[in-house]
Structure 1
């Protein structure tokens, strides 16, 4: 049976890619990869593997989802092992549900390989928890805007709960609207807030502020990479600098180069 693996590459640092993900890429005969996937992950694919860059970066030109679906199906029907390599975790705003439904409806077996999502990577990198006893007993992962670009209607009342940590993906351009809506729903203007660019990568940047100051802080930072917004009491624990780490080559994680 034809088979496609929907593989999570993690937030970008090679060492945050799982062993299973690295193994999947090493077996790929066709690799469709997103723009935010690191070069080291793509380089794991065999020399004769077909490599197709799909884009998939907020605000940038990308291959249409329907085109990606048809490509995966066509390659799988040729009997190739197809790996669809996605940034972060494929099941967190990675459209894995859409792709899986399309492929299975066309008789293709699908395996999903999980990975590290940006909120977890940011918390580990800058030293703060996403949940914390007495401060945050819920975590909300969300996007601020709908498919047509409008601010999402639902979920803001729950996000205003003071014991909820809110992680908003691909939200840099929505900082002003997000802050206004959360404060309108009752979240304190002084609630600690963070903006993280390129979470999990060596070049990640952190901006510490509060909810009221979030729009100005994001505007002043002039971010160019993907931005994650985090709002909640736990954000006050963030360190200004991520700790120095020793890079671990992906090949070694996959059992190579030991």
Structure 2
């Protein structure tokens, strides 16, 4: 066997996923939507499972890769409209495992970044159910990359913060706004459309300039991706004018201005540049 063949065998061995055991739950991140961003381990597990419990943020293209014989259970959630309560989803995972099903809990993005994966894992532990977790590419990383926005850059942002834009049970968005308003950082708000007025008000009140660039990215990395570049003071108007709907990321920071240079318009879902610090761009939705 040649050196090249030995290396190939070693890689194949390292990638080989042990079969998902009956009665075990795999909490799997599906990434932001593009099936090309699904991890190899995630792919192997969804093809082994005989029960898939999935969210609305898992793209149809990824669902096409699921074991055709698997039972598919949709428990999708939208802000303010829960098709299946989180508590019921937790119970469902336990019930399926007790029935000795091979269960994959498939989540958009990464299950441990605003994905409630930690809550589900706790419930499985409390009920003596074996589980494993497979990370996924979180929406902030996937969507920003597809839109030409590096979340960190030596000239513009030395840190990045992922922020929830929606609190449990619709509680007020009580965050450390002073820290989030500090210069030379990027803030990515998940689920922030409903609370956009609060985000704008608090960031500006705590020192962020109203001219600070902001990107809105709806359904990032999918064929339906829709992007707009604006600024803080025009954020609410841009959301209304462009008709943004969940799931939409809000990226705040000077790195956003690089989208005009780094984005590939055919992939980014937009066709205009940030003309000036106060300009909200026109956008288009891909066909």
TM-score by length of 1: 0.90
1:158-197 equivalence runs, <5 A: 158-197=179-218
Query: 2:73 matched to 1:52?
Result: yes
SS in 1 for 2:133: strand
SS of the residue corresponding to residue 173 of structure 1 reads coil
Contact 1:141/1:166 (8 A) holds in 2: yes
Residue pair 1:131, 1:139 contacting (<8 A) in 2 also: yes
Separation in 1 of the partners of 2:166 and 2:66?
Answer: 34
TM-score normalised per structure 2: 0.81
- Report if aligned partners of 2:34, 2:62 keep a CA contact under 8 Å in 1: no
Higher alpha-carbon Rg: 2
Aligned counterparts of 1:179 and 1:80: Cα–Cα separation in 2: 47
TM superposition outliers: structure 1 runs of 4+ over 4 Å: none
Partner of 2:19: none
> What is residue 248 of structure 1 aligned with on the other side?
none
Alpha-carbon offset, residue 116 of structure 1? 1.0
State the Cα distance separating 1:164 from its structure 2 match: 1.5
Residue 4 of structure 1 corresponds to which residue in structure 2? 25
CA contact (8 A) 1:119 1:228 kept: yes
1:132 maps to 2:153:
yes
The equivalent residue for 1:253 is: none
Task: Report how many residues are paired.
Answer: 245
Equivalent-residue separation in structure 2 for 1:238 and 1:170 (angstroms): 21
Q: Could you say which residue in structure 2 is the equivalent of 1:229?
A: 250
Pairing partner for 1:81 from 77, 90, 102: 102
Equivalent positions of 1:209-220 (< 5 A) are 209-220=230-241
Contact 2:165/2:193 (8 A) holds in 1 = no
Q: Work out the CA distance in 2 between the residues paired with 1:152 and 1:21.
A: 33
Q: Is the 8 A contact 1:125 1:243 kept in 2?
A: no
Contact 1:36–1:57 (CA<8 Å) still a contact in 2? Answer: no
Secondary structure, counterpart of 1:166 in structure 2:
strand
Q: How much has 1:243 moved relative to structure 2?
A: 5.1
Going from structure 1 to structure 2, the CA distance change for 1:220 and 1:243 (only over 3 Å counts) comes to closer
Aligned residues: CA RMSD: 1.6
Instruction: Say if 1:36 and 1:87, in contact at 8 Å, map to a contact too.
Output: yes
Identify which of structures 1 and 2 has the higher relative contact order when contacts are C-alpha pairs closer than 8 Å and 6+ apart.
1
Gaps in structure 1 of 5+ consecutive residues? 246-258
Residues 11-55 of structure 1: per-residue CA shift (max 9 Å, x gap): 111111111111110010111011121123223232331110001
Distance apart, 1:244 and its partner CA? 4.7
- Post-superposition shift, 1:239? 3.3
